[in-house]
Structure 1
Amino acid sequence: MKKTTTKIIAVAFMVIVILFLGCKKEKGLLASNDYEYLPQDVKETCTMSESEFKSWFASGTVTENGLVKPANSVLFPSKNNCDFYKWSEQMFLWLTSPASGGYNGKGTVLESSVFYNVSPPDSLNKRTLTQHKANEALRAVSNINQSGPNRLPILIDKNGRRFEIEAAKKDEKVKNDVNKLIQFDHISTNASGLHSFIDTKGKVIKNPKPVIDSKINPSAVVQEFKIGAKSIFLDSKGREVQSEQGQAGSHGALMGENKSLVYYITMVNDVYAYFLTGVNEGKLNGNQFPTTASARDSILAYAKTKGWAAPPDPDALAMELKTSWVEVKDLPNADTYVTIKAVIPTYDKSNPKVWVEKGQKTTTLALVGMHVVGSVAGHPEMVWATFEHEKNSPNDAYAYRDKQNNIKQVRADTGKGWLFNVNANDTTGNQNFQSMTVSGNTIQVKDTTIKTPNVRRIMAWGVASNTVPNGEDQTPADSNSEIISINNAVRKMLVGKDVRKNYLLIGATWTFGGAAPNGNVYPYGGTADSIPNGDAIGTGQLSNSTMETFVQSPSTASTDSTAISCFSCHSNNTSPSLQPKILSHVFGEIIPLSSSSKKKI
């Protein structure tokens, strides 16, 4: 009896301890061992040896927050998916390494003179490059252009649904009730506010439907029609869509639970900047991004003729980064974030629904997201990888394969403690709702009671739940397992309190054969025994919850018309091309470097 009583007391004590720890964990945005929420029994299909991981470090030894070398993109092996994922991990660790380790500066490598800030577009849609300088704050903006998969502006309707907008055209035709194309003349409005489409003969067009030209998910596209200075929007079935924001096509703004806006910085490295300038001067071949030793050497030779400093890491080839940040102020557990000094805009918030930019300030920002994009051997379309802080947003449900080869289901994340989700239990039917938009120098707030959008990462590891993701992984569970496995491997081999343990590789994508992206996501457009060149593979339906927040798929499942990849936007689907100005949204807008931009020191 005494033994039984002792066992009951012991069990009760353990339950109390577990409950206490569970409650304690929810108070902050991160517990010290929170990374263990990743499945630890996952089949280790993407990993590396300790000796290989040590070779990533400049010292040859794994050290806490130590300097990692960039991956050698010239000698990139590309034997399997894991090679792409390891490249992504090594590049992220390098970018977030201390610049004091060999880059003559403080802060991180991405703050060093290796990288250039890309400015927002000016009134002529031109951008400038500003080389980073030691101990000088970077400049960040408070919005990012979250266009849709057809590269069209976004409209959010009164129900929170997302549509892309095809702009109004001259001499627009519509389909009538028998699907005949009719030239319409104008739109009339009756006393009740109802609209009628009138043809060139003055007759009312019955059940008008727009002609949607977009090829990707046309059911989520609306056509704009003008009534004087106002616009109305019809979906593909002719139903009028009401824009709640009144700012259809404006950029989205995102706010964290710490009441900080999310700020964005786009960067390119020195190889990219030199390459771009040489292409613009007609000195370098601009048909594709550099992928070979000879292309690298041509860039170095060109830089030498300009008197520019040789890149310290030329084998990294061309890189483009998109990064997202929040203010450290009022952020719990700020020591779990990579931080920088940056200049950000400030706002007059006297009108809670319209914030007007009034100046700027220098502050400390914490990294919440990063797109790492780079050219590698055999892949001029570039590898597109994305990372997030582990406590950004809850995941939707997903599956993985365990060490016994069983497929296991992971339920959607719940609870509080997420930076971009007040309560994950209350996300159903209201996920990724856009409550703030940016237009010019103002931020318009739809609902002042919403502290943050209820952001959720829909496809947890970048693949749909109902498709074959790529030729190597035959189920979503297999693909997810590769990403989980490499995350576990890197985190276990980082030592001490290395801040980089708190970031997750969400996935990476590239095209089959390294061909020009055709806009398709495998397996759509393929056959049972072949993958078309140019299809997006790897984790082909990748998104970052801080940068593609409002343009994520509404479901973990996908169809041919709803499947969206990085290459849905970063390509010319009608005429596939590897030209940098097609793949990159900034390459063709950047003003080349001047001859005195980066002289030898």
Structure 2
Amino acid sequence: MKKLLLAVSVLASGSAIAQENIYKDLQPTISGTPLNEVPAQPFAASGVVKRPFFDYFNWQNFIALMWPSKVQSHGIPYKPQDAKVFGKYTKDLQPVWLGWKSAFDLFPQNGDKPIAWEQNNGTAVCRNIKAGDTRPVLITGSKFTSVADELDQAFGGPLPDQTGLFTRYEVRMNKVEYDFVRSNGYYNKSNWPADGITLPAGNGEEVAGVIEVKAAWRDLRKVDKKFHSRFFTLENALVSIPNTCTDKPNSMIVCDCEPTTVGLVGFHIAQKTPDFPQWVWATFEQVDNLGEDASTPKDMQPSYYDPELYKKYPHVLRANPAAHPGSNRVPDATDFNPEPINVVRLSQIPDTPKPAAGEQDYSTTGMNNMYREMLKGTVWEHYQLIGSQWPQLPSISPKTPTDGDFGCEDGTEVQAGGMPFPQCQVANVTMETYHQYDSCMNCHQGAQRAGADFSWLLATRAYIEPTGELKK
């Protein structure tokens, strides 16, 4: 395992770095081999100074997750050392993470044992689709969810884009997590240890720890096809028709589905490593979400922002999300032409640490520039890292949160264990539209308190044996 701390004297602030270049080894590479631990960081440095090590770790793993993989290989990278294959997808090659299992795979109805990793679950969640259909299914529904959960963000409402179509979400996990939960029976909460689950962290080298990813997909059916190439797209992806979904207590959601073309607009990565038992967190976005990127074509409507609509709703995002049009909307049969939500970013992508004159810029914005330049010619040049988060005191037990003495700008208490950096405002505008002052670690501390080792996937979807009237 790599050592967490490297004894190097550095500045403890975000000012210009005047010492020897401690980032010289953080050079972007196109590789399908993921990193299983964050590179060693300088001793006693501030979070700002350490940020490039985590940004590098997350960018390299973003590339590894997007590496082409044969559709039936269940996430094994295809020619991981051949940079020429990166970004080239066909009907037989898809990104690695799309071969991973979903919440629907891991939590069958009635607490049954999930299928093996190598098996295909098919489209059973879509009642109107024949068995054997191989089209991707963008449905997160599982026991104890509701119809709204097919479209709603976590702790928020749905997000229509500027064409009035809803954003869709899905969550997947790697083989390490799936096999661990399946082999221990943790898909059924009655099998959980009294003190909660502890998920594997790997060894920091050849053995990976658990990884969860969450994707936000924009429905592109109303977007000019000349702009589709700026998105990683799935054609004929199956999405739920909400007013057709069952919503019965103690049962799996099943819906009628329809095919559409979707484009990836947001992507979370959460990875547990030996040095960081509170996990390392990252969030990426497609650059045209808000029209803030210089590369967005002048004639392209940003996905979630319209300056004219902003004039109508100038206070579209504030500490009170209930004031936001649509923040509490529950989709139903009468709500398929919603008014677009106009989104603004409340926290800018970090531009620190500041480089010394003439030095390479290793801030988050600087790292984005390096990676996007390297990835030119692939669809991934149109994606950027919004932020990384990690525990500054990882030696503190993950089960020991802070006492809430710290607060975010909207008054949210910071309760995440391990002293997160940054404390607040690590958010994706497509997935935390209405809660941008909060952060990954603070949100997932709730899942840790539920005994699920920071995984809401487990905390909200593990089967609970019915009691009383529910048994009847």
TM-score range, shorter chain: 0.5 to 0.7
Question: CA distance change for structure 1 residues 331 and 86 in 2, over 3 Å: closer, same or farther?
Answer: same
Alignment map for 1:556-571 (pairs within 5 Å): 564-571=438-445
When residues 444 and 126 of structure 1 are mapped into structure 2, their CA distance, relative to the original with a 3 A threshold, is: farther
Equivalent residues of 1:338, 1:366 under 8 A apart: yes
Whole-Å separation in 1 of the counterparts to 2:51 and 2:458:
27
1:109 Cα deviation after fit: 1.2
Aligned to 1:86: 56
Within-5 A mapping of 1:537-552: 537-538=421-422, 540-552=424-436
Partner of 1:138: 136
Amino acid at match of 2:280: V
Distance 1:82 1:273 in 2: 30
Query: 2:342 & 2:153 partners in 1: Cα distance?
Result: 19
1:320 and 2:212 correspond: yes
For the structure 1 residues 393 and 489, does the alpha-carbon distance in structure 2 shift closer, same or farther, using more than 3 Å as the test?
Answer: same
Q: TM-score, normalised by structure 2?
A: 0.62
Are positions 1:363 and 2:253 aligned together? no
Question: How far apart are residue 78 of structure 1 and its match?
Answer: 4.7
Inter-partner Cα distance in structure 1 for 2:16 and 2:33: 28
Residue 486 (str. 1) matches residue 383 (str. 2)? no
Report the counterpart of residue 154 of structure 1 in structure 2: none
Higher Cα radius of gyration = 1
Structure 1 residues 565-580: aligned runs within 5 Å? 565-572=439-446
- Structure 1 residues 316, 138: closer, same or farther in 2, change over 3 A? farther
Q: What residue is the counterpart of 2:401 in the other structure?
A: 518
Which of 19, 33, 38 is matched with 1:69 structurally? Answer: 33
CA distance in 1: counterparts of 2:199 and 2:107, whole angstroms: 25
Percentage identity across paired residues of the two chains: 18
Q: Name the aligned partner's letter for residue 483 of structure 1.
A: T
- Equivalenced residue count is 357
Letter in 1 for 2:98: E
Q: Which residue of 1 aligns with 2:173?
A: 268
Q: In structure 2, the residue corresponding to 1:293 is in which secondary structure?
A: coil
Q: Give the 5 Å matches for 1:36-75.
A: 52-54=27-29, 56-57=30-31, 68-73=32-37
Alpha-carbon distance in 1 for matches of 2:182, 2:444: 21
- CA-atom RMSD, angstroms? 4.6
SS in 2 for 1:550: coil
Structure 2 matches for 1:400-549, cutoff 5 A? 417-423=301-307, 425-426=310-311, 428-431=314-317, 433-435=324-326, 437=328, 439=330, 442=332, 445=335, 451-461=339-349, 482-495=363-376, 497-514=377-394, 515=396, 516=398, 518=401, 534-538=418-422, 540-549=424-433
SS at match of 1:571: helix
Deviation (angstroms), 1:70? 1.6
Partner residue of 1:585 out of 442, 456, 459? 456
Letter in 2 for 1:99: S
What corresponds to 2:78 in structure 1?
102
Compared CA separation, residues 374 and 444, structure 1 to 2 (3 A): farther
Structure 1 range deviating more: 277-286 or 135-144? 277-286
Q: Distance in 2 between matches of 1:340 and 1:546?
A: 18
Query: Which deviates more from structure 2 when the two are superposed, residues 386-395 or residues 128-137?
Result: 128-137
State the TM-score, normalized to the length of structure 1. Answer: 0.50
Deviations 1:61-88 (CA, angstroms, capped at 9, x unpaired): xxxxxxx322233x75355221211111
2-structure distance, mates of 1:125, 1:506: 39
Higher strand share: 1
- Equivalent residues of 1:455, 1:545 under 8 A apart: yes
Structure 1 residues 444 and 386, CA gap change in structure 2 (3 angstroms)? farther
Contact 1:520/1:536, CA 8 A, preserved across alignment: no
Give the C-alpha shift of residue 337 in structure 1. 0.9
Q: Is the 8 A contact 2:196 2:451 kept in 1?
A: yes
Superimposed CA distance per residue, residues 120-157 of structure 1 (whole angstroms, 9 cap, x where no aligned partner): 9999997996758599322223413422xxxxxxxxxx
Q: Write the distance in 2 (CA, Å) between the matches of 1:258 and 1:490.
A: 30
CA contact (8 A) 1:395 1:456 kept: no
Partner letter of residue 239 of structure 2? I
d(CA) in 2 for partners of 1:127, 1:364: 32
Written as runs of structure 1 = structure 2, the 5 A alignment for 1:281-320 is: 288-293=198-203, 315-320=207-212
Shift in Å, 1:329: 2.0
Shift of 1:51: 9.2
Residue 375 of structure 1, aligned match among 267, 272, 291: 272
Indicate how the Cα distance of structure 1 residues 435 and 330 shifts in structure 2: closer, same or farther if over 3 A, else same.
Answer: same
CA distance in 2, matches of 1:110, 1:128: 22
Alignment check: 8 A CA contact 1:76 1:376 kept: no
Residue 95 of structure 1 deviates from its aligned partner by 1.6
**8 Å CA contact retained: 1:385, 1:508:** yes
The one-letter amino acid paired with 2:65 is L
2:163 counterpart SS class: coil
Residue 142 of structure 2 is matched in structure 1 by none
CA distance in 2, matches of 1:482, 1:522: 29
Contact 1:509 1:542 (C-alpha < 8 Å) held by counterparts: yes
Shift of residue 253, structure 1, vs aligned partner: 1.5
Q: Is this contact kept in 1: 2:67–2:78, CA < 8 A?
A: no
Per-residue deviation, 1:421:
1.6
CA contact (8 A) 2:316 2:325 kept: no
- After superposition, the C-alpha distances for 1:395-430 in whole angstroms (9 at most, x for unaligned) are 69xxxxxxxxxxxxx9xxx99831112227525212
SS state of the match for residue 445, structure 2? coil
* Runs (5+) with no aligned partner, structure 2: 1-14, 43-49, 71-76, 80-90, 123-132, 140-149, 245-253, 355-360, 409-415, 464-472
In 2, the alpha carbon distance for the partners of 1:511 and 1:385 equals 13
Confirm or deny: 8 A CA contact 1:47 1:485 kept in the other structure. Answer: no
How far, CA to CA, are the matches of 1:520 and 1:124 in structure 2? 37
Give secondary structure in 2 for the equivalent of 1:370: strand
The CA deviation at 1:542 is 0.6
